[in-house]
Amino acid sequence: MTVSFYIKLYLATLVAFFLIDMIWLGLVARTFYRKHLGFLLSPSPNWIAASLFYLLFIAGIIIFAVVPGLQADSLGKALLLGALFGLISYATYDLTNLATIKDWPLIVTVVDMIWGTALATTVAWVSFLAGRWLM
């Protein structure tokens, strides 16, 4: 796998991630987060911090799920590792908030962990297929 391959794979994964996550954030979860976290939400997002998270999270999906799946020629491995990466990543954030922020809603933690798992699994699937195609 060449540098060119990884750049193309990253870009394909980036597109898949943003399409899926923006549908979730823009259409599905918008009112959910306002309802449960309105007391904490900033009037506008910190786009630098959000962008850094997205860039790192996408790299994590590729490094920890997609590449091992491609090396093993196993979609199942990519999906399992993607699910675990998403669960652990979102659990780190949400369980830390639950442990340290007064009145952090348990429902947000549960929904976020489910979403992080589903998001990373789905993105790993699309990225794995893109990686196979790029090879």
Integer angstrom CA distances of residue 57 from 62, 126, 135: 9, 15, 23
Identify the pLDDT of residue 62.
98
One digit per residue, pLDDT tens: the chain, 135 residues?
A: 899 999 999 999 999 999 999 899 888 788 898 899 998 888 888 999 999 999 999 999 999 999 999 999 999 999 999 999 999 999 999 999 999 999 999 999 999 999 999 999 999 999 999 999 999
Identify the pLDDT of residue 28.
78
Owning domain of residue 93: 3-40+48-134
Q: State the sign of the Cα–Cα–Cα–Cα dihedral 26, 32, 34, 38.
A: negative
Identify the pLDDT of residue 43.
87
Global pTM value: 0.93
Identify the pLDDT of residue 132.
97
**Count of structural domains, the chain:** 1
Question: Would you say 51 and 94 are in contact if contact means Cβ atoms under 8 Å apart?
Answer: no
Question: What is the per-residue DSSP string for 31-77?
Answer: HHHHHHHTTT--SS--HHHHHHHHHHHHHHHIIIIIHHHHHTT-HHH
78-113: burial string, b at 16+ Cβ within 10 Å, e else: bbbbbbebbbebbbeebeebeeeeeebbeebbebbb
Identify the pLDDT of residue 39.
85
